[in-house]
Amino acid sequence: MSDKKLTLKKRLHIIKHHFRGKKMAPAFNAFHTFLFTPDETTHSGSHVRAADDLKRTMNTVIMALVPVLLFSMFNAGYQHYSAVNGFPENFSVIEHFLTWDNFWIGIIKVLPLVAVSYIVGLTVEFIFAVIKGHEVEEGYLVTGMLVPLIVPIDTPLWMLAVAVVFGVVIGKEVFGGTGMNILNPALTIRAFLFFAYPTWMSGDKVWVYEAVERAGGPDAISGETILGYLAQNKAAEMSYSVSDMFWGFIPGSVGETPTFLILLGGLFLIFSKIASWRIMLSAVIGSLVMGLIFNGVVDAGWIGETSKFYGLMSFDFWKHLIVGGLAFGIVYMATDPVTGAQTNRGKWFYGFFIGFISVLIRVFNPAYPEGVFLAILLMNVFAPTIDHYVVRGNVNRRMKRLKNATILPEDSEGKEKELQVETA
Amino acid sequence: MALLTKKDAKLISDPLADNNPITIQVLGICSALAITAELKASIVMSVAVIFVLGVGNVVISLMRNIIPSKIRIIVQLIVVATLVIVVDQVLKAFAYELSKTLSVFIGLIITNCIIMGRFEAFALGNGPWRSFLDGIGNALGYGVILIIVGFFRELLGSGTLLGYKVLGDPIAKTGLYATGYENNGFMIIPPAALIVVGIIIWVQRSRNKALIEDH
């Protein structure tokens, strides 16, 4: 075969053999398997090869995130210009939202966040792969896309870089890399940013592009999030309608606002069987239950309008789902197969408490107007315990069933003992 | 060096590295988390523990043959408590502000596992000179970790060292702050100490593979 007839695939396989056993082999393989499946064949036994390997799984999640990312780029500009020029009257999506000006702000503000997240995160992954001599793991592909979507738009890039290094090293690599981590790395990064640089992560000046620079000047605006308004009992000053909240034309972290697109992404993930519908559904139920409890407390008159919790407690229970990061967290973060519960019954508990605790933190902790990331991290920690008890419960139930089984064949006297020995 | 025999020198050098009370034996973690937000507090705490453990070990060692073994814990507690009160009073007299920052943690030296651990494991079975060296060595090992953690937490968390603004003024935006750098608030809260100690353990064990436990 002459050189000309070599396809890209074959060339890469040849290069691969040059790298074999060398230090940089994992780095090369990472790029190689991104394009093609490896040419290795299994040497012993039979192995099932499925088409949806880890890389394909990750890519499916990224596909579900792309609409959210595009929307967030437009929204970045929309929020900026609305803050400067005032909200447009007779709002039309084509005229006021999907404009080049809006998109341009998104390009200069959102894309750098994505780039920093991926470059820093993958560099750390490559360094660890080369030091430890294993293949580069795909885990960061999704994390790298999630991170820019859950931070405020004005987050300085160096802060993001520091947080990504922390999140990947402490959140994932120290536990043994992808698949071994206890906590969701993207949320670890978010939590690190939140506790390290609180002035950049909360308040009313960080959610809209350049709001910090405008603060105090004649252009000063309130770029407060809906939850922020409610936490300060200022629901009356809020000018957002329910449809704004649902479609996502509201300030917030870069990609958390478009509930509709997140819903579509969630359905896509459910039908491609990547994410668990049990977790999503039970988390929604959990947040609705907690919201209903709070609404009930207000209706019963136990909490007056003067209470500092009134704003959030009286917020209609179902609206909790369309503001803040709850929907985004439920669809893309809670369903992380590594850090979530593994058993089907466990997923119901796991999801339910994520929704339940998220709304609880929202209402009761004024310092954290958004508690979704804390709720998911907390349940990440409890997921193995939940699974443990589900499995134990299952074993005990079967043991009981076995003991109660009285109908045995006539010549089974010996069998019964055998069974007991086996199950003991 | 003729001052110390090889065996005696080991009593001091071992706890500093391969048998460190914090990173290897994982003792005394509580105070390592609580008071290391500032370097100054870490240093004072280390000095206090060096004094208490050095003197305490000698006292227990001198009394080791007359303490009835049934009540030895009580005797040990009395010795530590006495020494801690001495430290506390000295701090209140000469460094009142600092004693307020350290407040309860000086008193809690009594419950520091390292101290009771050394009394039980070493001073009860060895002579005063060796006990003294062992006490100083272990307290130094504890202090070294405290000072490392305190150094990083104060530098990254407050941008100062011993109260001096080494990175510039965060409010007037001078020095490093002029470039947009900001203090890392995460370093101020106690969980950060846990992570810094964890990183020290990680570095130490990857340099000396013999320290890695089998599972």
Contact A188, A377 (CB under 8 A): yes
CB contact under 8 A, B185 and A197: yes
Nearest Cβ partner of B202 from A156, A162, A174? Answer: A174
Stronger pLDDT, B98 or A211, i.e. the higher one? B98
* CA distance, residue A197 to nearest chain B CA (Å): 6
Residue of B nearest to A199 (CA): B185
- Nearest residue in chain A measured CA to CA from B185: A196
Identify the weakest region by mean pLDDT among A5-19, A52-66, B154-168.
Answer: A5-19
State the Cα–Cα distance between residues A159 and A391, nearest whole angstrom.
42
Model pLDDT, residue A119? 92
Q: CA nearest A198 in B: which residue? A: B185
Alpha carbon distance A210, A108 (integer Å): 12
Min Cα distance B204 → chain A (Å) is: 14
CB nearest A198 (choices: B181, B185, B195): B185
Whether B184 is covered by a domain: the verdict is no
* Average predicted confidence (pLDDT) for chain A: 81
Mutate: best of A197, A200, A381, partner B, most B CBs <10 A: A197
- With cut-offs at 50, 70 and 90, classify the pLDDT of residue A38: low
- Nearest-by-Cβ selection for A197 from B182, B189, B198: B182
Q: How confident is the model at residue A215 (pLDDT cuts 50, 70, 90)?
A: low
Query: Is the predicted pLDDT of residue A218 greater than 70, yes or no?
Result: no
Q: Are residues A29 and A170 in the same domain?
A: no
- Mean pLDDT over A28-38 rounds to 68
Binary contact (B186, A196; C-beta < 8 A): yes
Same domain, residue pair A30 and A110: no
What pLDDT score does A287 carry?
92
Q: Which of A86-90, A360-364, B86-90, B162-166 comes out lowest in average pLDDT?
A: A86-90
* Contact predicate B88/B106, CB 8 Å: yes
Does A284 score more than 50 pLDDT? Answer: yes
Return the residue in B182, B200, B201 with the most chain A beta carbons within 10 A, the one to mutate for interface testing. B182
Q: Are the beta carbons of B182 and A192 separated by less than 8 Å?
A: no
**pLDDT higher for B83 or A89?**
B83
Minimal Cα–Cα distance from B39 to chain A, Å?
19
User: Looking at the domain assignment, is residue A400 inside a domain?
Assistant: no
Chain A CB contacts of B202 under 8 Å are: 174
Euclidean distance between CA atoms B2 and A11, whole angstroms: 69
Domain containing residue B122: 21-151
Nearest CA in chain A to B190: A195
Considering CB atoms only, which of B181, B186, B202 is closest to A195? B186
> Cβ of A198 and B202 within 8 Å?
no
Nearest to A269 by CA among A187, A344, A336, A183: A336
Same domain, A167 and A101: yes
Query: Is residue A227 a contact partner of residue A250, using CB atoms and an 8 Å limit?
Result: no
Give the number of other Cβ atoms within 10 Å of residue B26's Cβ.
Answer: 12
Q: Evaluate whether residue A211 is within a structural domain.
A: yes
The question of ipTM being above 0.90 is answered as no
B66: amino acid identity, one letter: I
Test A195 with B185 for CB contact under 8 angstroms: yes
Cβ pair A156:B180 closer than 8 A: yes
Pick B100 or A419 by higher pLDDT.
B100
- If one counts the domains in chain A, the total is 2
Whether residue A282 is predicted with pLDDT greater than 90 in this model: the reply is yes
pLDDT of residue B191: 86
Under a CB-based contact definition with an 8 Å cutoff, are residues B134 and B128 in contact?
A: no
Q: Which of B180, B184, B202 sits opposite A196 (nearest CB)?
A: B184
The percentage of chain A sitting over the pLDDT mark of 70, rounded to a whole number, equals: 81
Q: Do B182 and A198 touch (CB under 8 A)?
A: no
Q: What confidence score (pLDDT) does residue B1 get?
A: 47
In a domain, A48, yes or no: no
Is B176 domain-assigned? Answer: no
pLDDT bin (cut points 50, 70, 90) of residue A412 is low
Candidates B146, B121, B145, B153; CA nearest to B135 is B121
Residues 6 or more apart in contact with residue B131 via CB below 8 angstroms: B57, B58, B60, B61, B122, B123
pLDDT tens digits, one per residue of A370-409:
788 899 999 999 999 999 999 999 999 998 888 877 655 5
Answer yes or no: is B90 within a domain. Answer: yes
pLDDT, tens digit, for every residue of A246-270?
888 888 888 888 889 999 999 999 9
pLDDT for A285 beyond 90: yes
Whether B170 is covered by a domain: the verdict is: no
Least-confidence region, from A261-275, A297-311, A336-350: A297-311
Query: How many residues make up chain B in this entry?
Result: 215
Q: What is the mean pLDDT of residues A324-338?
A: 89
Q: Residues A16, A148: one domain? A: no
Q: How confident is the model at residue B10 (pLDDT cuts 50, 70, 90)?
A: confident
Which two three-digit tokens encode residue B4?
């110390």
Contacts of B186 in chain A (CB under 8 A): 192, 195-196
The whole-angstrom separation of Cα A204 and Cα A148 is 19
From A196's Cα to the closest Cα of chain B, the distance in A is 4
On whether both A161 and A256 belong to a single domain, the answer is: yes
Shared-domain flag, residues A30 and A143: no
| Confidence tier at A223 by pLDDT (50, 70, 90) | low
The residue-averaged pLDDT of A9-26 equals: 73
Whether residue A414 is contained in a domain is answered as no
Length of chain A: 424
Provide the chain B residues 173-212 that lie in CB contact (below 8 A) with chain A: 180-182, 184-187, 189, 195, 198, 202
Contact list, B184 vs chain A (CB under 8 Å): 162, 196-197
Stretch A344-351: mean pLDDT:
92
By C-alpha distance, the chain A residue nearest B189 is A195
Count the domains in chain B: 1
State whether A223 and A301 are in the same domain: yes
Average pLDDT over residues B29-35: 81
Backbone CA torsion sign across A353, A357, A360, A362: negative
Report pLDDT for A376.
Answer: 93
Mean pLDDT, range B13-36, rounded to an integer: 80
**Per-residue confidence (pLDDT) for residue A351, from 0 to 100:** 93
Is A9 in the same domain as A128? no
Residue numbers in B near A156 (CB within 8 A): 180
- Residue A291: how many CB atoms within 10 A of its CB? 24
Could you tell me the residue range of the domain that residue A29 belongs to?
3-35
Token representation of residue A18: 């040059």
Q: Is residue B209 a part of any domain in this protein?
A: no
Identify whether A187 is part of a domain. Answer: yes
Domain assignment of residue B42, yes or no: yes
For residues A59 and A25, state if they share a domain: no
What's the CA angle centered on A78, arms A74 and A83, to 5 degrees? Answer: 155
pLDDT at A1: 44
A298 vs B104, residue with greater confidence: A298
> A283 to chain B, minimum CA–CA distance in Å?
28
CB contact under 8 A, B195 and A174: no
Question: A226 and A87, same structural domain?
Answer: yes
pTM of this structure: 0.83
Note whether A87 and A217 are same-domain residues: yes
Check pLDDT > 80 for residue A26.
no
**What local confidence, expressed as pLDDT, does residue A265 receive?**
92
Tell me: do A7 and A82 sit in the same domain: no
d(CA A92, CA B108): 66
Does residue B32 lie within any of the structural domains? yes
For residue B83, tell me if it sits in a domain: yes
pLDDT digits (tens, 9 = 90+) for A131-184: 877 777 777 888 899 999 988 888 889 999 999 999 999 888 888 877 788 889
State the nearest Cα–Cα gap between A192 and chain B, in angstroms. Answer: 7
Query: What residues of chain A have any CB closer than 8 angstroms to a CB in chain B?
Result: 156, 158-159, 162, 170, 174, 192, 195-200
User: Token pair 């705490």 is at which residue?
Assistant: B45
